[in-house]
Amino acid sequence: MEITSFVLGMLTIVAAFISASIVAGLAKINKLEKQQEYLNSSLERTRSELYDAMKDDYNNVWRKFESTGRDITMVEKTIMNQIDQARQETGKAVHTVRTDLSSYIDSRIDKVVMKGTLDGSKQIING
């Protein structure tokens, strides 16, 4: 009976160690599963925040691009208006110079005709 009691005692101790190992293993597995769920949720949250930040950055860059395009268009229109205005002023100045020059030439011709210089030169040529 002593051997039987010893064997049964040893089996009980081995069974207790195995049971304790199984319980410890299950607890460790449960802890790792919770940690994995936490890490997965953190990863998803981080991905979502990163996507939102990138989306905001993309929208900000696009808004700046559109704003810059509008600014360039406004500058282009301003420059074209200044060019048109300078062209019109130059055209007016050329017209004024032509008119003044024609008027001056006409007055010189009239003065020469009034003095009779042309009549005198006709006489010399004829004579």
Q: What is the model's pTM?
A: 0.44
Write phi, then psi, for 70 (nearest 5 degrees).
-65, -40
Q: Is residue 101 part of a domain?
A: no
Domain total of the chain: 1
Considering the domain boundaries, does residue 33 fall inside one? yes
* Domain interval for residue 70: 2-94
For the record, the structure tokens of 87 come out as 């062209």
Q: Can you tell me the distance from the alpha carbon of 53 to that of 44, in angstroms, rounded to the nearest whole number?
A: 14
In a domain, 123, yes or no: no
Percent helix, percent strand, percent coil in the chain, to nearest 5: 100, 0, 0
Structure confidence by residue, pLDDT tens digits, 57-109:
888 888 888 999 899 999 999 999 999 999 999 999 999 999 988 888 888 88
Most confident of 2-6, 74-78, 113-117: 74-78
Q: What is the pLDDT of residues 18-67, one digit of tens each?
A: 999 999 999 999 999 999 999 999 999 988 888 888 887 888 888 888 99
d(CA 83, CA 70): 20
Q: Is 49 a member of any domain?
A: yes
HSE on the CB side for 91, CA within 13 Å?
6
